[in-house]
């Protein structure tokens, strides 16, 4: 094995800092990684919000190995294979009612760009070509494609790359620590911020020019921002009033994170499209998807001549046989092992343990929903991000626990199979580290 770390340019990583003391994983099973030195490391992040069924699930592993032996690849343009149709069917059956047409891609970023293009093309095919604007949200993360960074609201992901897409605007995000600190579940205050969509943005741009609004039901990557009660319902109502498509980016919230198949189910708000990825294959093979309402799909079918391609979009690896095998097996595992219900059953213990951190040093907010929580720390004056990064490093090296941080926020999203003892261990590790930092 090479120990030369110089060739690999790592994504979203402080490369020089990492390479000075590499944090290397060697294998993974169930709730644990095993580091290069053999230490088991409790996975508090489901890899990167994606290994929802736990690592190395034998049914998924076997399905992928079996598919690799039978057929490695089939061209997805003008050709098909059974697995793609089966995977689409399984996903459609799991999705909220009415969302039943599935377009495959390879990642969350691609799912987002696919959904945005689908929204623009849908309006055009209906003869409404005025609708070209896209609305996202501050602190939204929608991957790293040009569409995704345009509707996304993270300055660091945008500032080096020019204007991305024209005609994009952003809602304010609903995080309001002053009013909602230490909320358990959905915050009480702040649904009215959704009204700004109508009163400010649509008033400014003319609702007739807006194609779609894209939001993460729970904003994950920028530190777990949980929508206040009634907020998503308001966004849905405004979209309905003005004929604007509502896209839920469920790349993180999909597949049981909130104790339901999708956040749409949890909130009882049905969008027009869902972007998903990550947990779709339990991350064993990369895959993303857009699940669209049938009416959107049918508009494409009806607008194009019989023998014409209806949507000029797709990827070489759309519906890749290995990804489809992984998806079919993963969705079956979620179902047969009741994993979403299990996550819902574990959520109260997770919430209790998370909020016990309130007493730990530097903690200025704890917010949680289902099996996700954010712990916001007081930054070290003049050194933003340094406090949380130190917790992350020390959890890994000293406590054998993997957490994730963004800014000065710790985000936890363990595999859905976490048990009570592991929940305790996870939060205990963070408490110990924070206490020792205050000593």
Q: Enumerate binding residues for ligand PLP (CB under 6 A).
A: 107-109, 112, 141-143, 216, 220-221, 249, 251-252, 277
Q: Bridge partners of 405?
A: 410
User: At its nearest, how many Å lie between ligand PLP and the CB of residue 288?
Assistant: 6
DSSP 3-state of 26: strand
Neighbours of 63 (CB within 10 A): 25
User: At its nearest, how many Å lie between ligand PLP and the CB of residue 271?
Assistant: 13
Pairing of strands 99-105, 363-369: unpaired
Give the CB-nearest residue to ligand PLP.
108
User: At its nearest, how many Å lie between ligand PLP and the CB of residue 317?
Assistant: 13
Q: Which is nearer to ligand PLP, 109 or 330 (CB)?
A: 109
Neighbours of 69 (CB within 10 A): 7
Q: Which is nearer to ligand PLP, 216 or 408 (CB)?
A: 216
**Cα diameter, the chain:** 72
User: At its nearest, how many Å lie between ligand PLP and the CB of residue 185?
Assistant: 20
Q: Which is nearer to ligand PLP, 151 or 270 (CB)?
A: 151
> Is 379 within 8 Å of 223 (Cβ atoms)?
no
What are the backbone dihedrals phi and psi of residue 279, each rounded to the nearest 5 degrees, phi first? -65, -10
Give every CB contact of residue 439 below 8 A, 6+ residues apart in sequence.
none
End-to-end CA distance of the chain: 40
User: At its nearest, how many Å lie between ligand PLP and the CB of residue 47?
Assistant: 11
Could you tell me what percentage of the chain is helix, strand and coil, using 3-state DSSP and rounding each to the nearest 5?
Answer: 40, 20, 40
Q: How far apart are CA 90 and CA 251, in angstroms?
A: 17
DSSP state of 186: S
Q: Which is nearer to ligand PLP, 109 or 281 (CB)?
A: 109
DSSP state of 226: P
Q: Which is nearer to ligand PLP, 207 or 217 (CB)?
A: 217
> Is 213 within 8 Å of 245 (Cβ atoms)?
yes
Q: CA Rg, the chain, in Å? A: 22
Q: Which residues of 295-310 are buried (b: 16+ CB within 10 A; e: fewer)?
A: ebbebbeeeeeeeeee
Q: Which is nearer to ligand PLP, 249 or 408 (CB)?
A: 249
User: At its nearest, how many Å lie between ligand PLP and the CB of residue 70?
Assistant: 26
Q: Which is nearer to ligand PLP, 150 or 202 (CB)?
A: 150
Residue 216, both tokens: 């993460």
User: At its nearest, how many Å lie between ligand PLP and the CB of residue 413?
Assistant: 10
User: At its nearest, how many Å lie between ligand PLP and the CB of residue 129?
Assistant: 27
DSSP state of 113: H
Selection from 265, 258, 257 nearest residue 282 by Cα: 257
Selection from 272, 188, 197 nearest residue 230 by Cα: 188
> Is 263 within 8 Å of 254 (Cβ atoms)?
yes
Q: Which is nearer to ligand PLP, 76 or 254 (CB)?
A: 254
Q: Which is nearer to ligand PLP, 413 or 422 (CB)?
A: 413
User: At its nearest, how many Å lie between ligand PLP and the CB of residue 299?
Assistant: 25
Q: Which is nearer to ligand PLP, 116 or 363 (CB)?
A: 116
What are the backbone dihedrals phi and psi of residue 89, each rounded to the nearest 5 degrees, phi first? -65, -45
- In sign, the C-alpha dihedral spanning 152, 158, 161, 164 is positive
User: At its nearest, how many Å lie between ligand PLP and the CB of residue 25?
Assistant: 18
User: At its nearest, how many Å lie between ligand PLP and the CB of residue 420?
Assistant: 27
Selection from 246, 217, 230 nearest residue 372 by Cα: 217
Q: Which is nearer to ligand PLP, 320 or 394 (CB)?
A: 320
């Amino acid at each position: 094995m090479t120990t030369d770390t110089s060739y690999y340019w790592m994504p979203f990583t402080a490369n020089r800092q990492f390479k000075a003391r590499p944090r290397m994983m060697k294998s993974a099973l169930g709730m644990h990684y095993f580091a290069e030195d053999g230490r088991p490391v409790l996975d508090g992040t489901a890899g990167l919000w994606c290994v929802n069924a736990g690592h190395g699930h034998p049914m998924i592993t076997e399905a992928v190995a079996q598919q690799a032996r039978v057929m490695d690849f089939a061209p997805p343009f003008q050709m098909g294979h059974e697995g793609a149709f089966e995977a689409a069917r399984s996903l459609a059956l799991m999705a909220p009612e009415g969302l039943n047409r599935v377009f495959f891609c390879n990642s969350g970023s691609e799912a987002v760009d696919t959904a945005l293009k689908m929204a623009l093309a849908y309006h055009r095919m209906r003869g409404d070509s005025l609708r070209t604007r896209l609305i996202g949200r501050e602190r939204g993360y929608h991957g790293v494609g040009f569409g995704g960074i345009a509707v996304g609201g993270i300055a660091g992901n945008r500032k080096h790359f020019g204007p991305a897409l024209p005609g994009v605007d952003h809602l304010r995000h609903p995080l309001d620590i002053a009013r909602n600190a230490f909320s358990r579940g959905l915050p009480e205050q702040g649904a009215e911020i959704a009204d700004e969509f109508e009163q400010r943005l649509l008033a400014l741009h003319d609702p007739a020019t807006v194609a779609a609004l894209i939001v993460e039901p729970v904003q994950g990557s920028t530190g777990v921002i949980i929508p206040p009660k009634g907020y998503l319902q308001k966004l849905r109502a405004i979209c309905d009033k003005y004929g604007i498509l509502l896209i839920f980016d469920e790349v993180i919230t999909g597949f049981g994170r909130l104790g339901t198949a999708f956040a749409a189910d949890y909130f009882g708000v049905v969008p027009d499209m869902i972007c998903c990825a990550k947990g779709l294959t339990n991350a064993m093979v990369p895959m993303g998807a857009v699940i669209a309402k049938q009416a959107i799909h049918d508009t494409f079918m009806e607008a194009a001549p019989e023998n014409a391609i209806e949507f000029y979009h797709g990827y070489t690896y759309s519906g890749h046989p290995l990804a489809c095998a992984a998806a079919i097996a993963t969705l079956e595992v979620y179902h047969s092992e009741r994993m979403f219900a299990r996550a819902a059953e574990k959520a109260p213990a997770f919430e209790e343990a998370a909020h016990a951190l309130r007493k730990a040093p530097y903690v200025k907010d704890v917010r949680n929903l289902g099996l996700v929580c954010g712990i916001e720390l007081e930054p070290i004056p003049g050194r933003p991000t340094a406090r949380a990064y130190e917790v992350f490093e020390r959890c890994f090296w000293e406590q054998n626990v993997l957490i994730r941080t963004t800014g000065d926020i710790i985000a936890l999203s363990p595999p859905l199979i976490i048990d009570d003892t592991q929940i305790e261990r996870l939060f205990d590790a963070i408490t110990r580290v924070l206490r020792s930092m205050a000593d």
